[in-house]
Structure 1
Amino acid sequence: MKPTAVFFGLNIVVISVVVTSWYCVVYKYDQNPSFRHVGWPNFTLHKRKAATYTEVLRQNIATTIFQNIPESDYAASVSKAFLSTYKSYLSIKSVTDLKRIASNTSSTQSLGLNKSVYSLGDDIKVHIILFDGYGKRLTQGGDILRIWLTGTSQKTRVNGYVIDHGNGSYIGHVRALWTGKSVIKTSIAATKEQIASVIKYIEKHGLMHDMVGGFKNNNITERTLCSVKPNVFGLSDMCNFTEENYGLHWFCGTPRNPKLKCQDWKFTKGAYTNHLSETERTIARVHKHMLLQKSPTITITGGTNYVPSPDLPCYTRPINETWHEESPVGFYYKGKWHQRGCKNTFIPSKISYENCLRNQYLFLIGDSNIRSWFDHIQQKADMVIPENEKGQKGRRWFSLRRVVREDLNFTLVWAVHEQPFYSGEDSPREMIKSVAWYIDRIPNMKKVTVVLHNILHFARITPSEFREHIRDVKFAIGRLFKRIPGARVFVKGPHSVTYVGFLIPLDFIRKIHEQLFYEEFMEFHNKIIYLNEWDLTTCIENVNVHPSIVTVGDMVDKFMSYLCEA
């Protein structure tokens, strides 16, 4: 595999984990004098130690679901305790009678204070009791609920949080952050049966959805199943491509044709196929995001229209606060997103983008949900990719993208992460590199900013495997900070997805991922900014895997408020 370089000797570097649809120019690092290999043998984060299953579940394992989760963790913007529930979900027995699952039509909700008028700033409590399809009250917890408040005016919304008491009863919390009439909405976002069936499948097979490896030698071709685990799907003879995947587990079945060898591996491809049973598939598709009936209507009174953001610009906010916020981190009022922990002073105009991004190198790494950031910033900064440049036409959607504005000395780059990467089409092995590979090849520059977003593709693997990927990135970030102490790094957190065909119980998985990021990046909490996108997308009831252009703009504006001085 011959490496490809994408970095140049600019004065400012910004790296973000993003996936976009723009073209890119491919460069060979050995042809670029400003590009060099990086090695830091004495740096404390250089060596990566494999995490064991026990280590992944190093919190005290609860004997009953959520018994040991503190109430503060339900309210936390970044979870710190949900890994302790993982083993409990694995112990849940499969169900055949779907009416035994929590039902939105039978379950009830009522206002905690039995009143309908609240004051601006109040914490509104809602009592929720779950019943199954037979009308029988549930006596165990584990179902994950959502609660959010919607105003009567367009796009006036805020997310809340729900505390599980472990006995079928829950307490929902939403903040009264604007005045006027509003409606409280509650949904059963992920039933424990959905969570259990999906994570047990992933633990067994390594991946939620199938991936294949393509082998070719002359005119002979073959495709075999791949996974982060060996010996899956009855395959006893596997090609170990862990080294090819930059030290991160990757295995594909050995071709049956004796004329094809492991070294003939040419590409991978992801699919949405899986091997769930019909009952499990029904649970994963239907028994989730079920809105409870009879949503309470309330009135909020106060001397102002809404609760304003604090008089603290986001770019001056202590970085470690972003890891310790309480949900909601912000809210929409008449279509505008307001931060609760700081004030967004960034004005999303062309001039503001140009002033902020001047002399910067911005690198976005991840999947297609960070690629949309690339598109947005490229358009806002009025950047044009020359049509006659090599590599700009006929590119694959996952090809590395690079665009430059010479007058601003600003370079914008996007690249995808390592396997498992679901491309939906044949992706040549040499085009898929690790996040750490890219970070290690950033040339020494005055300023660097990194934004990481490796979420949805990795929501299909086990927590132990995801920890390995995050740890690999952590070591690379540590090496980056050693080379460039002023480098800036962002983590773009998960966003809400309620699309019926998305089988992953994201309301559970996102908390696991949050905790893994929190733990693995703990030593860098004062240098890495965590961007919570969950509250922003949950309250607007986002459906699709890819949020709307407007929502992407709100996300980018929030990121820019931390990056740019007003």
Structure 2
Amino acid sequence: MPALSDTQWPITSVVRPFIAKLGKCCKNVTLSLRLISNNISINVKEGTRKKPPALRPCWSIPRRETWYTSSRTGWFQNGTWQSDTCSLPDLTRQRVLNCMRNTTLVLQGDSNQRFWWDAIHRFLPCSYVHQEGAWHAPRLCQNYNLSSTLIFCSHAMPFSPGTHTDLVTVSLPQALDKLLHHTPPGGKAVFVLHYYRHFTTYSLHVYRQRVREARRTLEQFVQLHPNVKVIIRAPHASYQSRNVGKTVIGDEVVAAYTEVWKEEFVGLEDKVWFLDLWDVTVAAESVPVHPAPSLTKELLKVLFGYFCEGNM
């Protein structure tokens, strides 16, 4: 394989260690990299300040628009995500309690979805908790006073449990059944689906096939249950790769995965939200496979901004 020229791969100090590891693990690959200088000066000229227009609440944005966002959707200020597209109230304990009242929220996916379940669980006191012994097994939290239910379940195969052999996966129809079963009469139902890390050791064809199956299932589901809020959580940035056998997986496939979702869900954009968190994780220079707790809170702020109406 020819060397990669430094003009193609300017990098920052954050990325450099992980690129170096990539060069060591892959034989017959020569990496030629250029480290961006830290001595960068930026001159900002004072101009006329205009009050920015008021942003509409994220929950009021038509679902179709979430599939066609601009290249930049916001920035970080003092560790807090500031959205360019819609207003996002801070994620506080009281907001979570208000948003989860009379609501069932099901998160299906991999360990990143489980991290979301854990983070919401810290805000939401549970009258009843059920968690099987398996690391990737379904988790359930119910708050009887709020008529609230929070569920996590792993997506179906392909799923690589690593050193954990006690794997319990759930099919998409089974996960949707859990959502309906636990939603109280007249209650709100929210379903969030995430396919990402466990597909990266397979061909893109496998990913597309699974997304296509999800489209068929969800299309029928939203026709029967139009009041259910269905959200696709798109892949996020992750500079850190991990070894699975002889394969190194990182976020190199994110652009392809995102395009697969948009291609396969044509015609369904008015029924399903597309939660693209790429900008948030890139702006945060998120390194780990699992975003840090502080960033997870900001990601959940975006999620709650879309499915929770009002600024309570």
Q: 2:212–2:264: 8 Å Cα contact kept in structure 1?
A: yes
**CA 1:504/1:312 → structure 2, altered by over 3 Å: closer, same or farther?**
same
Corresponding position: 1:439 with 2:183: no
**CA 1:294/1:428 → structure 2, altered by over 3 Å: closer, same or farther?**
closer
Q: 2:241–2:289: 8 Å Cα contact kept in structure 1?
A: no
Structure 1: which 5+ residue stretches go unaligned?
A: 1-94, 108-128, 131-142, 148-184, 195-276
In structure 2, what residue type is equivalent to 1:504? Answer: I
Report what 1:491 is aligned to.
232
Report what 1:479 is aligned to.
220
C-alpha distance in 2 between matches for 1:443 and 1:287: 52
Higher-Rg member (1/2): 1
Corresponding position: 1:311 with 2:311: no
**CA 1:432/1:490 → structure 2, altered by over 3 Å: closer, same or farther?**
same
SS in 2 for 1:351: helix
**C-alpha displacement of 1:523:** 1.6
In structure 2, what residue type is equivalent to 1:407? Answer: N
C-alpha distance in 2 between matches for 1:414 and 1:510: 23
Report what 2:107 is aligned to.
364
- More helix by percentage: 2
**CA 1:422/1:358 → structure 2, altered by over 3 Å: closer, same or farther?**
same
**C-alpha displacement of 1:435:** 2.2
Q: Superposition pairs for residues 483-562 of structure 1, below 5 Å?
A: 483-501=224-242, 503-507=248-252, 509-562=253-306
Q: 2:106–2:152: 8 Å Cα contact kept in structure 1?
A: yes
Corresponding position: 1:280 with 2:21: no
Report what 1:351 is aligned to.
94
Ranked by relative contact order (alpha carbons within 8 Å, sequence separation 6 or more), the top structure is 1
C-alpha distance in 1 between matches for 2:115 and 2:146: 22
| 1:135-190 alpha-carbon deviations (Å, 9 max, x no partner) | xxxxxxxx7x779xxxxxxxxxxxxxxxxxxxxxxxxxxxxxxxxxxxxx997999
Report what 2:122 is aligned to.
379
C-alpha distance in 2 between matches for 1:334 and 1:426: 37
Q: 1:314–1:343: 8 Å Cα contact kept in structure 2?
A: yes
Report what 1:208 is aligned to.
none
In structure 2, what residue type is equivalent to 1:438? Answer: A
C-alpha distance in 2 between matches for 1:282 and 1:491: 38
Q: 1:186–1:291: 8 Å Cα contact kept in structure 2?
A: no
Report what 2:147 is aligned to.
409
Q: 2:91–2:300: 8 Å Cα contact kept in structure 1?
A: no
SS in 1 for 2:210: helix
In structure 2, what residue type is equivalent to 1:413? Answer: I
| 1:311-369 alpha-carbon deviations (Å, 9 max, x no partner) | 2111111221111112221110222211111111x232222111111110100000011
Q: 1:190–1:505: 8 Å Cα contact kept in structure 2?
A: no
Corresponding position: 1:420 with 2:153: no
Q: 2:126–2:142: 8 Å Cα contact kept in structure 1?
A: yes
- More strand by percentage: 1
Q: 2:135–2:166: 8 Å Cα contact kept in structure 1?
A: no
Q: 2:136–2:166: 8 Å Cα contact kept in structure 1?
A: no
CA-atom RMSD in angstroms: 3.2
Corresponding position: 1:336 with 2:77: no
**CA 1:513/1:436 → structure 2, altered by over 3 Å: closer, same or farther?**
farther
TM score, norm. by length of structure 2: 0.84
Corresponding position: 1:101 with 2:3: yes
Q: 1:309–1:342: 8 Å Cα contact kept in structure 2?
A: no
In structure 1, what residue type is equivalent to 2:226? Answer: P
| 1:46-101 alpha-carbon deviations (Å, 9 max, x no partner) | xxxxxxxxxxxxxxxxxxxxxxxxxxxxxxxxxxxxxxxxxxxxxxxxx2xxxx42
Q: 2:58–2:306: 8 Å Cα contact kept in structure 1?
A: yes
* Identity value in percent: 24
Q: 1:310–1:340: 8 Å Cα contact kept in structure 2?
A: no
TM score, norm. by length of structure 1: 0.48
C-alpha distance in 1 between matches for 2:159 and 2:258: 20
SS in 2 for 1:404: strand
| 1:188-226 alpha-carbon deviations (Å, 9 max, x no partner) | 9999xx8xxxxxxxxxxxxxxxxxxxxxxxxxxxxxxxx
**C-alpha displacement of 1:382:** 2.7
Q: 2:242–2:250: 8 Å Cα contact kept in structure 1?
A: no
C-alpha distance in 1 between matches for 2:234 and 2:105: 18
Q: 1:496–1:542: 8 Å Cα contact kept in structure 2?
A: yes
Q: Superposition pairs for residues 175-254 of structure 1, below 5 Å?
A: none
**CA 1:354/1:425 → structure 2, altered by over 3 Å: closer, same or farther?**
same
Q: 2:134–2:166: 8 Å Cα contact kept in structure 1?
A: no
Q: 1:308–1:338: 8 Å Cα contact kept in structure 2?
A: no
Of 493-502 and 362-371, the range deviating more from structure 2? 493-502
**C-alpha displacement of 1:486:** 1.1
Q: 1:187–1:291: 8 Å Cα contact kept in structure 2?
A: no
C-alpha distance in 1 between matches for 2:232 and 2:46: 36
In structure 1, what residue type is equivalent to 2:294? Answer: V
**C-alpha displacement of 1:309:** 7.2
**CA 1:438/1:306 → structure 2, altered by over 3 Å: closer, same or farther?**
farther
Q: 1:362–1:449: 8 Å Cα contact kept in structure 2?
A: yes
Q: 1:453–1:492: 8 Å Cα contact kept in structure 2?
A: yes
**C-alpha displacement of 1:535:** 1.3
In structure 1, what residue type is equivalent to 2:26? Answer: E
Corresponding position: 1:397 with 2:135: yes
C-alpha distance in 1 between matches for 2:286 and 2:64: 28
| 1:99-157 alpha-carbon deviations (Å, 9 max, x no partner) | x4225xxx3xxxxxxxxxxxxxxxxxxxxx34xxxxxxxxxxxx7x779xxxxxxxxxx
Q: 1:439–1:477: 8 Å Cα contact kept in structure 2?
A: no
**CA 1:464/1:102 → structure 2, altered by over 3 Å: closer, same or farther?**
same
Q: 1:329–1:341: 8 Å Cα contact kept in structure 2?
A: yes
**CA 1:520/1:298 → structure 2, altered by over 3 Å: closer, same or farther?**
same
